[in-house]
Amino acid sequence: MSFLSRISSITGPLIAVRHMAKVNNCRLFNYQDGVKRFPVPEDKVSWSVDWPEYQPVDHTHPAVLRGPVWADLDFRKVTPDTPPKYNELDGNVDRKSYSGTYEIVNGLPRNPIGRTGMCGRGLLGRWGPNHAVDPIVSRWKRGEDGAKTMMEGKPVLEFVAIMRNDTRDWAIPGGMIDPGDTVSRTLRKEFGEEAMNSLEATEEEKKEIEAHVNDLFKAGDEVYSGYVDDIRNTDNSWMETVAMNFHDETGSTFNKIKLKAGDDAGDVCWMEASSKLNLYASHLDFIETVVKQRNAAW
């Protein structure tokens, strides 16, 4: 069964159409920190396929096991005072999935898309869904005369891209939603930190950045919300995101914004949207959706 079919069986056809990623990243043999996954062929991904020989590698990164504020306890070894409330809001930790209700097997969440070749949490902090945001900030590419750059009769779109320090991949600037925080506030915060380096700004600069970001993020269009085919996913922990497009039709707002890489970003730039790009995780799918919504060149 294809990735689109698996998504459709869980969430319905709307999400399936809007998510064009292949379920490949989360089955890469080499995990992000060098650990090897148990190989999972395409025809064995679905949990509905009987596979008694399946022996996923059990891996949780030491940084996660140290128990930072963004991570759960190892519920297999430690019994918490209050059991986690999966598939619902657990205090200020959102354990609900955009894909609907996920199964709990032997006391742990099961990846709703299928086998990944790894159990535990890998590099992710939460058992079950780990929620993130991806702000897609876009404008029209323009020449020195201010006219839109055209390609095959359609305008060319540009978006803000950052180079991730961990993988050195180009990506949409984004990040995890902290417990108790909102999607809207996290979108603003992550863009400010990664694309405008607000963490190292002076107090005066922070106020200026906040004003520009708030102006830019007044209104946006949802591109996608749901499961992400992320290289960090495991059988028990997986990434989900809300991708929003904030587009400046005239370019006037972005003239006030200075891009400067910060936090987890090694570089930042305005990147031309193109089908030839190689972006992190499912980010190219999100960009393609924006391009089609804006009727831009691809």
CATH number at 264 reads 3.90.79.10
The whole-model pTM stands at 0.83
Q: How many helices (H) and strands (E) does the chain have?
A: 6, 15
Give the number of domains in the chain.
2
Instruction: Give the residue from 139, 286, 160 showing the smallest Cα distance to 225.
Output: 286
- Residue 246 inside a domain? The answer is yes
**Claim to verify: residue 224 and residue 81 sit in the same structural domain:** no
Which of these ranges, 164-168, 203-207, 248-252, has the smallest mean pLDDT?
203-207
The answer to whether 213 and 192 have CB atoms below 8 angstroms apart is: yes
Q: Any residues with CB less than 8 A from the CB of 82 and at least 6 apart, and which?
A: none
* The pLDDT of residue 34: 85
- Residue 42 inside a domain? The answer is yes
* Token pair for 34: 């060098």
**Claim to verify: residue 197 and residue 217 sit in the same structural domain:** yes
Domain enclosing residue 10, as ranges: 3-130
- Residue 298 inside a domain? The answer is no
- Residue 208 inside a domain? The answer is yes
Question: What's the average model confidence in pLDDT over 128-156?
Answer: 95
**Claim to verify: residue 157 and residue 194 sit in the same structural domain:** yes
Domain boundary among 75, 106, 130: 130
**Claim to verify: residue 193 and residue 121 sit in the same structural domain:** no
Most confident of the following: 18-27, 139-148, 162-171: 139-148
Domain boundary among 112, 130, 148: 130
Could you tell me which residue, 99 or 262, shows the higher pLDDT? 99
**Claim to verify: residue 152 and residue 238 sit in the same structural domain:** yes
**Claim to verify: residue 96 and residue 185 sit in the same structural domain:** no
The answer to whether 191 and 135 have CB atoms below 8 angstroms apart is: yes
**Claim to verify: residue 86 and residue 20 sit in the same structural domain:** yes
- Residue 218 inside a domain? The answer is yes
The full length of the chain comes to 298
Question: What's the average model confidence in pLDDT over 193-215?
Answer: 75
* Token pair for 28: 């890469």
How far apart are the C-alpha atoms of 121 and 227, rounded to whole Å? 16
**Claim to verify: residue 84 and residue 37 sit in the same structural domain:** yes
* Token pair for 292: 């089609």
Residue 200 clears pLDDT 80, i.e. is over it: no
Other residues' Cβ atoms within 10 Å of the Cβ of residue 223: 23
* The pLDDT of residue 9: 36
**Claim to verify: residue 159 and residue 268 sit in the same structural domain:** yes
**Claim to verify: residue 159 and residue 287 sit in the same structural domain:** yes
**Claim to verify: residue 104 and residue 163 sit in the same structural domain:** no
Other residues' Cβ atoms within 10 Å of the Cβ of residue 292: 10
* Token pair for 60: 């949780």
**Claim to verify: residue 153 and residue 269 sit in the same structural domain:** yes
Domain boundary among 130, 164, 180: 130
Residue 14 clears pLDDT 50, i.e. is over it: no
* The pLDDT of residue 36: 96
- Among all chains, which residue has been given the structure tokens 């190689």? 278
- How is residue 98 annotated by DSSP? T
Query: Tens of pLDDT along 208-234?
Result: 777 777 777 777 899 999 999 999 999
